[in-house]
Amino acid sequence: MQDDGFFSKDAYAKLTGIEVVATGPGTAKVKMAVEPKHRNSHGTVHGGAIFTLADAAFALASNSRGIPAAAINSSITYMKAARDGVLYAEAEEFAVNPKLATYSVTVTNDEGEKIALFQGMVYRKSPKHA
Amino acid sequence: MQDDGFFSKDAYAKLTGIEVVATGPGTAKVKMAVEPKHRNSHGTVHGGAIFTLADAAFALASNSRGIPAAAINSSITYMKAARDGVLYAEAEEFAVNPKLATYSVTVTNDEGEKIALFQGMVYRKSPKHA
Amino acid sequence: MQDDGFFSKDAYAKLTGIEVVATGPGTAKVKMAVEPKHRNSHGTVHGGAIFTLADAAFALASNSRGIPAAAINSSITYMKAARDGVLYAEAEEFAVNPKLATYSVTVTNDEGEKIALFQGMVYRKSPKHA
Amino acid sequence: MQDDGFFSKDAYAKLTGIEVVATGPGTAKVKMAVEPKHRNSHGTVHGGAIFTLADAAFALASNSRGIPAAAINSSITYMKAARDGVLYAEAEEFAVNPKLATYSVTVTNDEGEKIALFQGMVYRKSPKHA
């Protein structure tokens, strides 16, 4: 399966403990069980870990069409600190044009509470004969 | 030193291999030597690792005033893929009001090239007697 | 109706030619018929006009709960240039906590095409007796 | 002068009352005298008007190189409400690569206080023989 091959090369996602839950055309869902290694100086889950979780869903969704996509811009809004349990990130495609595409990713905890909202944009090099 | 104590509790920054270069009131500089663990599926440094580097500088700068600051929003723009060497992130305070403060962080490589521009906002709970 | 009173004081939205379509708790829909005054130097609808349209939906949605809300941060991604016809912006509440709330706004044209994706955050001063 | 020609076609900037102060390669400064038409429902300057001011500086700076540049993404953080006087927006080029470029814009009032921080990204179609 294409997405598994793609994701299996993602060393930083692996370091962070991220696993793929599901992928589809323009979508992806990933998860991360919170561990002590994810904490920041305040004792909650680090913004970088939450961002990386969302970014992994974004990368899977945006590379699901067979054309390599490079992230050019992302923003994240944190709505609730995460402390433990399992976090999920689910990416949806908002819009696609020939060169650019935009995704939104929702991060939730295992009680279904909204942790963060992420928005990302990619640039795609056109394939030579397309 | 306050910032060293603060940073020493940051488990995810440690996992990512981030080190403090310098801190001051409202500012901070951190670095990260690129290793295979930082790579994404395209073989370049993962957006999550670059974000985490910038976020570490942002956390140090925004917590440098003695009042705990929680990140509420960040955005990052990637200008050049990073592949190896050492990456640096330097945070500056843009503006502060009683509850909110904004920082911008520049990520560069060891040739001085601009890798990413990060902007972050924090919310500070007022101290009880201030 | 509360929202009509709120919106009727919005001089810049009026200058821009924005009209309310519908409002509800945490939601709002507004529209703008494209006129020559909305154009930028490239002849398409100005990013500022598209932003203002999205911002009007965001302001209505975030002030729909009776507690004044001040915008602190917004981002917008443009997916398609708009040239004429009617543009719509529809705001949804993503998450609310005691002080902060986040909204996403979708801008579409009258053919249902996605023009822009906007995300905004507000800060609410707590009411005195709550 | 190229920039004057460019700006003179910007109908929405004109409607908003924006004037050019200075332009240069990759930079621009614009201003806006606050009028009743700029107010929002809270009686302060509308976020859309502040955004449009910043966006005008961004458009001038990013189109200063002779290659048309289309905005693809912008974010704005508001640090202080603006009520009257003159507002200024000053754009700087952060980084440029063959297709994409990033600008940051600072909005200040006539007492030098920081009102908002804006960040914008453009996409440039390569000229055919360059």
Q: pLDDT tens digits, residue range D84-123?
A: 999 999 999 999 988 999 999 999 999 999 999 999 999 9
pLDDT average, residue stretch D3-26 = 91
B vs D, Cβ pairs < 8 A, gives: 45
Q: What is the band of C127 on the pLDDT scale with cuts at 50, 70, 90?
A: low
Which chain B residues are within 8 Å of A114, Cβ to Cβ?
none
* Amino acid A35: pLDDT: 98
Residues of chain B with pLDDT under 50: 1-3, 128-130
**Chain D residues whose beta carbon lies within 8 Å of the beta carbon of residue C38:** 11-12
- As for the ipTM of the complex, it is 0.93
Do the chains contact at C73 and B99, CB–CB below 8 Å?
no
Q: What is the 3-state secondary structure (H, E, C) of chain C?
A: CHHHHHHHCCHHHHHHCEEEEEEECCEEEEEEECCHHHECCCCCECHHHHHHHHHHHHHHHHCCCCCCEEEEEEEEEECCCCCCCEEEEEEEEEEECCCEEEEEEEEEECCCCEEEEEEEEEEECCCCCC
pLDDT tens by residue, C105-114: 999 999 999 9
Tell me, what's the pLDDT at A127? 58
Radius of gyration of chain B (CA): 15
CB count in 10 Å sphere of residue C126: 9
Q: Do C100 and B123 touch (CB under 8 A)?
A: yes
How many residues can be counted in chain D?
A: 130
pLDDT at C51 over 60: yes
Nearest Cα of chain C lies from the Cα of B95 at a distance, in angstroms, of: 13
SS3 content of chain D, % helix, strand, coil (to 5): 25, 45, 30
Residue type, D51: F
Residue C88 near residue C55 (C-beta atoms within 8 A):
no
pLDDT value at residue A87: 98
Among candidates D6, D40, D52 on the partner chain, residue whose Cβ is nearest the Cβ of C48: D52
Per the CB < 8 A criterion, the answer to whether D101 and D35 are in contact is no
Nearest to D71 among C9, C12, C78 (CB): C78
Q: Where are the domains of chain D?
A: 2-124
User: Would you say residue C3 has pLDDT above 90?
Assistant: no
Count residue pairs from C and D with Cβ separation < 8 A: 126
What pLDDT digit, counting tens, does each position of B29-52 carry? Answer: 999 999 999 999 989 999 999 999
D125: phi then psi, degrees, rounded to nearest 5: -75, 130
What does the pLDDT average to over C53-69?
93
Q: Identify the helix (H) or strand (E) that includes residue A49.
A: helix A47-62
Contacts of C106 (CB under 8 A, 6+ apart): A94, C89, C90, C114, C116, C117, C118
The CATH number that domain D2-124 falls under is 3.10.129.10
Which of D89-121 are b and which e, b meaning 16 or more Cβ less than 10 Å from the residue's Cβ?
bbbebbbbeeebbbbbbbbbbeeeebbbbbbbb
Residue of D86 and D126 predicted with greater confidence? D86
**pLDDT digits 0-9 by tens, D43-77:** 999 999 999 999 999 999 999 988 889 999 999 99
The arithmetic mean of pLDDT across residues C86-110, rounded, is 96
| Cβ separation C102–A94 shorter than 8 A | no
Position D43, amino acid: G
pLDDT at A5: 81
pLDDT at res. B67? 87
Whole-number pLDDT of residue A126: 66
In this complex, the chains that touch C, judged by 3 or more CB pairs closer than 8 A, are A, B, D
Give which of D8, D35, D40 to mutate to test C binding, by max C Cβ within 10 Å. D40
> CA nearest A125 in D: which residue?
D99
Segment holding D24, helix H or strand E: strand D18-24
Q: Decide if D114 touches B, using CB distance below 8 A.
A: yes
Three-state secondary structure along D81-115?
CCCCCEEEEEEEEEEECCCEEEEEEEEEECCCCEE
Of A72-81, A118-127, C16-25, C30-39, the least confident:
A118-127
Residues of B in contact with C100 (CB under 8 A): 72, 123
Nearest chain A alpha carbon to D97 = A72
**Contacting residues of D for B97, CB less than 8 Å apart:** 79-80
Using the beta-carbon criterion (under 8 Å), do A97 and C80 form an inter-chain contact? yes
At B21-31, the pLDDT tens digits run 999 999 999 99
Element (DSSP H or E) covering residue A16: helix A11-16
| High-pLDDT (> 70) share of chain C, % | 93
Contacts of C70 in chain D (CB under 8 A): 42, 78, 81
For residue D119, give the nearest of B73, B75, B114 by CB distance: B75
Nearest chain A alpha carbon to C73: A77
Residues 70-89 of chain D with CB under 8 A from chain C are 70-78, 81
In whole numbers, what is the pLDDT of chain C averaged over residues?
92
Q: Which residues of chain A have pLDDT under 70?
A: 1-4, 126-130
DSSP 8-state secondary structure symbol assigned to residue B83: -
Does residue C60 have a pLDDT over 80? yes
- The answer, for C114 touching chain B at a CB cutoff of 8 Å, is no
Q: Which residue of A has its CA nearest to D100?
A: A72
Nearest one of C94, B34, D31, B21 to A106, comparing CA atoms: C94
Contacts of D75 in chain A (CB under 8 A): 75
